[in-house]
Structure 1
Amino acid sequence: MTVFLVTIMMITGCTTVPAPQQHRKVYISEENGKYVLYRNDSPYVIKGAAGFEQLQYLRHAGGNTIRTWDTLDLGRILDEAHANNIAVIAGFPMPSSNYLPFYNDSARVTHQYSAFRDIVQRYRAHPALLMWCLGNEIDFPYSPRFRKFYKAYNRLLKMVHAEDPDHPVTTALINFNRRCLYNIRFKVTGLDLVSFNIFGELPRLRHNLDKFSWFWKGPFLVSEWGINGPWESASTAWGAPVENTSTKKAEQYRQLYEQFMPVEHPRFLGACIFYWGSKQEGTHTWFSLFSEEGAVSGTVQEMQYLWTGKMPPHKAPALKYMLLNGKGAMDNIIFRPGTTQTAEVLPDGISGDSLHVRWEILEEDWYTKNRYEPNTRKPAVPDSLQLSARELQAVFRTPAKEGPYRIFATVFDNYGNFASTNTPFYVTGQ
C-alpha cells in the first residue's frame, strides 16, 4: 500500500510529484526527517485492518482504515466504509511477475489496463478512498526476461497517477525484501511508498530498515501483519501445522505490536492487522479475528486496547488447550478408523457453565490447485462423527477414510465473544 509522496530524494526509489500538496486529498510530507501522511489536510496515522468485514466494529475498536486486495464489490465497500468513517486502501489484483504467459500477451495486458483505468475513473472521487495498492505480493525480479512485466507495471502506475493525482499508489511486498526494493528503485517509476506484508519476520523489521537505509529511506506501511502463518509454524510428523488457541494468539498479537511494530520510526505511516473478518487459510480459525457468525475474538479486544487504551467490559473466553485422550497436538495423535475417542477443552479461569461449544471434525486443508491458489472454503465435514457433547467435553468416532483431520472447538460466551482451539490427528488404515 503506497502513500503519496511529495518531497523525496531519488534514493527512496520514488519520484517527486510537482503539484502543490494543498491540492491533494491525500499526500505525504517530509517534515524534519519524518514522513507524515495527510488526509484532507490533517495528519493521518493508519490504524488499519486487512479485510472488508465488520466495519462497524472496527470503528468501535478505534480503527480507521481497511485494506482490500481486489476491486470486486469495491463500490459497496467504499460506501460502507464511508458510512463508518473508515478509509480504504483499494487493491488492484495483478498476476505474479513470473506468470509470463500473461505479460507476454499484449491483448490481455491491454485489457487489464483498460479495466484498471475504468476502476480509477469510477472511484477516484469517493470520499472513503485513501490510496491505491497496485499488486499484492507480485514480486519484482531482476532478469531481463521480465521486461514486459515492468513495462506493463510502469504503464499502469503512470495511468493511475495521471487519472487520480489526489491519492498515493503503493505495492505490497512479502516481508522486507531487499531484492524487490533494489528493483523497484531501478525499474519502477512513481511508487509513492512501499508496503510490507510481514508475519514471522516482524521482529526483524526495525533492524532491516536501519541496515538498508543507505539505499532506501522512503516512507512505508505495514499492509499485513500478524502471528506466524501455517508456513512458519511447528507441525506434526505428517506435516500438519499446529495452531495455537485464540487466547494464546491474542497474547502474541499484543506482544508483536508492543515490542516489534516500529510505530516510533520516522518513516512509519501505519499498519493493518490481518485478518479483520473470517476466512479459510490453513484452517478457518488461524487468522480469523471474528467467528463465522461475527462473534469477537480476544485479538480484536487486544487491538481495541492498543488503539484506544480501553478494554471492552466483557473479555473473550480464555482457553489453555485441547486434549484428545489426554494428548496434545505435538504428541502426533494417530487413531484407527471408526474408533471412539474423547476430546476436552480446558478453560483458563472461566466456568464452563457460562460457555457453549461448537464441535467440528474436518479434513486437513492439504489439497490445493497450486501454491498461488489456496482453498477459500472449509474442507468437507465427515458425517455423523460426533456421538455426544457435554460442556467442554465431546465423544466422537474417527472417520472411516484414512488421512489427516482436525477436531475444532469454538467456545462462545453470552456477550458475543468467542475462543477457538483445534487439534490435528491422523487416521491410519486397518
Structure 2
Amino acid sequence: MTLAGERAAGGPRRGRTLLALLTVLTLHLTTLTLHADDMAEIRIDGARILVDGRPFAVRGAAGNGPLAELKALGATTIRTYGEDPGPTLDAAARAGLKVIVGLWVGQPRQGADYTDPGFVARQLDDLQAIVDAYKNHPAVLMWGIGNEVEVDLADPAPVWPEIEKVAAMVKRRDPAHPTLAVLAETGTDKVALLRAHAPHIDVLGINSYGDALYTAPSRARGQGWTGPIVITELGALGQWQAAATPWGAPFEPSSTQKAIQFRRYLKALGDEDVGTILFLWGQKQEVTPSWHSLRLANGAWLEASEAMADAWGGHTPGGNHAPRIAWLRVAGDPSAPFASWPAKAPGRVELEASDPDGDPLTATWTVMAESRAAGIGGDAERVPPTFPGAVRDGNLNSAGIGSLSPGHYRLFVELTDPHGAAATANLPFEIR
C-alpha cells in the first residue's frame, strides 16, 4: 500500500520534468550542506543494521503524522514512499528520527512501461536527482526502492532487473546508505527472485498484515534471505483477509481489537529481531476512512499508539489512554455480524465503551455509503457519501438509524476524550 493519492498512473512523478524536480530539490541544498558533518555511519552487519557501530532498531511508522509524537512513542524511524523527501527529512532530524526515503519505482499495473527506453531513462534520472540532493542529509537511514512493484502482475519477471538498476545507481551515487526493496508479502519465491536478480539490495522490506506477520520473517529466511528484514507495512488486518457480509462488505475490527493485534504482532516480531513499520501514521480512505489509519482526520490518536509505546518503551501524549470499545452490535440481536432492516423499519445499534482514565467521552455517529472502490494495493479512493439525517438519538450507548433508501451502508462511531485520544468502530448494514 501507500499514502492516498500517490499511486497515480506511472507513480507520483509522472509528467514531472527533471528540471522541475531539480528546482524543488535545490531549495534544500544549503541546509543539507550545513548538516553534512552530522551524518552517522550506517552499515550492514549480517542481519543487523548498525548506526555508528551500534545495532539500530528500525521501529516506527509510514506516513506523515506528527513526528515528535511518533518519537515519544519510542519510534526511531519514519518511512516515505516517493514524494519529495525534503520536508520529512528536516522534520525527522528535528524530532530525532531516521528516514527510510522512498524512491518510487513505477508499477507496470499503473502504466509504467519498462519496454520504453525513454521512460526507463527519465525515471532513473529523476531518482538519481533525489539521491544526489539528499544523500548528505543526517536523517537518511536508507533508500527504499519501490513499493510492491510486482503486485498484480501475471509475470513479475521484468520488474526485478528494474529494481536492480535503481539499486545499482543508488550504490554508485551514495555508497554510505543501504538500499531496501519492498515486496507485498513473500510469495512462494519473491524473496528468492529479488535476491537473485537484485544483488545491490541490502535490506528486505515486506508489507504484511494480520496473522501472516507471525511467519513473514521465517518465510523470508526460508527463501535464502540472510540480511536485515524490515516489516515495512504492518497492519492488524487487511481488508482482503477479513470476513465479509453476503454483499461483500469486509468487517473492520474496532480500534480496540486492532490494538490487541498490534501488541501481539510487535511482541512476536521483536522476538524475531526484525524492523517494524506500522501503516499508516496518518489518515486515509481505504474501504473505510479508518481501516488502516492510526489517527483520525482531526489528528486524534488511537489505541494503536499505546501498543507502540508499550512495545518500544515510550509514552503517549501526557500518558493518556485511548477509549476502549467493547462492542458495537445490533440491538436485540447481539450475535448478528451485520444489520439488515426493511426500508420503513427503524434500526438500532448498541455501544459498550469506556475510558481507562475515567475521562468523559464524546460520541460522533456517521452513516456512510458502502465503498464501491475495487482498489488494489492501496490505490487512492474517493470517500463515499455520508447521510447526516440517517442517525437518530446517537449517544454513548446507542444510536437509531432511519430515513435511508434501500442499499448498502456503514454506521461509524468515533469516541473522543478531552486529551486528543479516540476510538473507532463501524458496522456494515443493508436497507432492503
* TM value normalised by structure 1: 0.83
Structure 2 partner of 1:334: 340
Amino acid at match of 1:380: P
1 CA distance for matches of 2:357 and 2:41? 52
Deviation at 1:323, TM superposition (A): 2.2
Structure 2 counterpart of 1:28, from 44, 66, 80: 44
Structure 2 partner of 1:57: 69
In 2, are the aligned partners of 1:141 and 1:180 still within 8 Å (CA)?
Answer: no
Gaps of 5+ in 1: 1-22
Structure 2 counterpart of 1:278, from 268, 277, 283: 283
**2:134 paired with 1:111:** no
Deviation at 1:40, TM superposition (A): 3.7
Secondary structure at the residue paired with 1:114? Answer: helix
Secondary structure at the residue paired with 1:279? Answer: coil
Deviations 1:79-105 (A, max 9, x none): 111111111101122233566761111
Structure 2 counterpart of 1:242, from 251, 260, 263: 251
Deviations 1:194-251 (A, max 9, x none): 1111113112235425544xx3322211111121111101111111111122112111
2 CA distance for matches of 1:185 and 1:24? 27
2 CA distance for matches of 1:349 and 1:337? 35
Structure 2 partner of 1:134: 145
Matched pairs, number: 392
% of aligned pairs identical? 27
In structure 2, the CA distance between the partners of 1:101 and 1:118, relative to structure 1 (3 Å rule), is closer
Deviation at 1:165, TM superposition (A): 1.1
**2:322 paired with 1:316:** yes
2 CA distance for matches of 1:322 and 1:409? 9
**2:428 paired with 1:424:** yes
1:314-393 to 2 correspondences below 5 Å = 314-327=320-333, 330-337=336-343, 339-348=345-354, 354-368=360-374, 370-372=375-377, 374-393=379-398
Amino acid at match of 1:187: H
Amino acid at match of 1:197: N
2 CA distance for matches of 1:309 and 1:406? 35
Amino acid at match of 1:321: W
Gaps of 5+ in 2: 1-38
Deviation at 1:145, TM superposition (A): 8.8
In 1, are the aligned partners of 2:266 and 2:276 still within 8 Å (CA)?
Answer: no
Structure 2 partner of 1:66: 78
Deviation at 1:348, TM superposition (A): 4.5
Structure 1 counterpart of 2:226, from 193, 197, 217: 217
CA-atom RMSD in angstroms = 2.8
In 2, are the aligned partners of 1:141 and 1:179 still within 8 Å (CA)?
Answer: no
2 CA distance for matches of 1:196 and 1:314? 32
Amino acid at match of 2:72: H
